[in-house]
């Protein structure tokens, strides 16, 4: 039935299947392991800058280029060591915003944009939205990405580490993909790189004109609520993003977000401490689950991807016990897995106990 909304919608938006984000329950009492948020609050420096900010500055437009934030990111060590500076950076309202603008700038109207068939659910949606012909490259039975299969594309987008699989590619594979796709922009989405053993592609930016890395403050800096993402690449790609931005929303990042993100990224010690804690918890959880007999992929992210012969029932059992995880029925291959974000040690203890009860046959209550 054609609805009233359909009458006015553009054919494109009527046709597409929007991205569906994980649940965000408003009531308390949930152990929330479904959207890969950081279990730790952001650096105390965020509160400090926020609590002393002069709100009269809000009457003026923010810096469209996020200059102070870019300088803070560039100074944080990793970029500096790779010989990069603020000219290699572009900031916007979350990594999703950066990725959507990157599709507009570099993929719109092109075909053969290569991406794994199991990855972030937003990649195909942006493809539909921006008339980019996505070509889905099958992932291995072990969820591995075969670098050799990414060749002669007009663009590539790969999450590294990948979601929901939690696996990461070594830099040599990224480099191979860059070389095999010289005429297309290769987007490496490093949303989860802070939790990986494999190195960041930042080391390759100076050498590859077609490399664009995207990052977010949401996971690694405990700032999902602030919506700040950025891209790293050579200046001609940063210019391309700027052009797309100025055809969409010239000031994508508000003053408070710029200020808080700059404070967060300046606190390198806190970043190392909290990501280190999450990695330690992850390893402990994986070991415990394996002891219980579960198959768990060796994760390089702030979540784990665990197999269960009855993943849907496990998801429901956890839900009943107020533990939220994520489960997909498609594409095929995912239905036997749960994606579980890494919470605090206490939260994960609750999760492990609940899994144990499920494995020991405790019946699911009727909902």
Nearest CB to a second copy, comparing residues 125 and 289: 125
- Report the nearest approach of a second copy to the CB of residue 47 (Å): 4
Taking CB under 8 A as the criterion, the residue among 87, 146, 246, 310 binding a second copy is 246
Taking CB under 8 A as the criterion, the residue among 18, 77, 206, 276 binding a second copy is 18
Nearest CB to a second copy, comparing residues 161 and 222: 222
For a second copy, the binding residues in 162-191 under the rule CB under 8 A are: 183-185
Determine if 38 is a binding residue for a second copy (CB under 8 A). yes
For a second copy, the binding residues in 215-234 under the rule CB under 8 A are: 218, 222-227
Taking CB under 8 A as the criterion, the residue among 3, 309, 329, 360 binding a second copy is 3
Q: How many CA atoms lie within 13 A of 250 on its CB side?
A: 3
Nearest CB to a second copy, comparing residues 246 and 335: 246
Q: How many CA atoms lie within 13 A of 299 on its CB side?
A: 32
Determine if 35 is a binding residue for a second copy (CB under 8 A). yes
Determine if 19 is a binding residue for a second copy (CB under 8 A). yes
Nearest CB to a second copy, comparing residues 73 and 100: 100
- Report the nearest approach of a second copy to the CB of residue 289 (Å): 24
Determine if 256 is a binding residue for a second copy (CB under 8 A). yes
Name residue, tokens 């939260």: 347
Taking CB under 8 A as the criterion, the residue among 1, 2, 26, 29 binding a second copy is 26
Determine if 254 is a binding residue for a second copy (CB under 8 A). yes
Determine if 2 is a binding residue for a second copy (CB under 8 A). no
- Report the nearest approach of a second copy to the CB of residue 241 (Å): 10
- Report the nearest approach of a second copy to the CB of residue 252 (Å): 7
For a second copy, the binding residues in 54-83 under the rule CB under 8 A are: 55-64
Stretch that binds a second copy, among 15-23, 77-85, 300-308, 349-357 (CB under 8 A): 15-23
- Report the nearest approach of a second copy to the CB of residue 133 (Å): 12
């Amino acid at each position: 039935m054609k609805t009233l909304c359909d009458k006015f919608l553009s054919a494109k938006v009527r046709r597409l299947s929007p991205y569906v984000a994980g649940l965000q329950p408003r009531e308390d009492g949930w152990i929330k392991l479904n959207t890969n948020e950081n279990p730790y609050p952001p650096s105390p420096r965020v509160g400090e800058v926020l609590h002393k900010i002069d709100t009269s500055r809000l009457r003026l437009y923010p810096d469209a280029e996020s200059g102070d934030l870019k300088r803070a990111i560039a100074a944080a060590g990793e970029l500096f060591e790779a010989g990069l500076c603020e000219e290699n950076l572009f900031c916007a309202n979350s990594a999703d915003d950066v990725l959507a603008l990157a599709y507009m700038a570099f993929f719109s109207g092109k075909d053969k944009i290569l991406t794994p068939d199991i990855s972030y659910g937003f990649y195909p949606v942006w493809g539909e939205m921006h008339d980019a012909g996505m070509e889905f490259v099958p992932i291995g039975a072990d969820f591995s990405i075969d670098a050799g299969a990414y060749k002669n594309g007009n663009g590539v987008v790969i999450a590294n580490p990948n979601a929901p699989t939690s696996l990461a590619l070594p830099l040599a594979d990224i480099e191979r993909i860059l070389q095999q796709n010289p005429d297309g922009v290769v987007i490496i989405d490093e949303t989860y790189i802070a939790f990986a053993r494999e190195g960041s592609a930042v080391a390759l930016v100076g050498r590859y004109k077609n490399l664009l890395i995207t990052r977010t403050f949401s996971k690694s800096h405990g700032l999902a609520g602030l919506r700040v993402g950025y891209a790293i690449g050579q200046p001609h790609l940063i210019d391309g993003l700027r052009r797309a931005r100025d055809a969409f929303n010239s000031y994508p990042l508000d003053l408070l977000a710029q200020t808080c993100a700059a404070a967060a990224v300046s606190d390198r010690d806190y970043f190392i401490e909290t990501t280190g804690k999450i990695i330690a918890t992850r390893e402990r959880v994986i070991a415990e689950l394996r002891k219980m007999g579960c198959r768990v992929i060796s994760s390089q992210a702030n979540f784990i991807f665990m197999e269960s012969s009855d993943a849907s029932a496990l998801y429901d059992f956890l839900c009943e016990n107020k533990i939220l995880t994520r489960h997909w029925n498609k594409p095929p291959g995912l239905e036997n897995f749960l994606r579980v974000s890494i919470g605090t040690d206490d939260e994960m203890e609750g999760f492990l106990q609940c899994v144990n009860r499920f494995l020991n046959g405790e019946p699911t209550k009727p909902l």
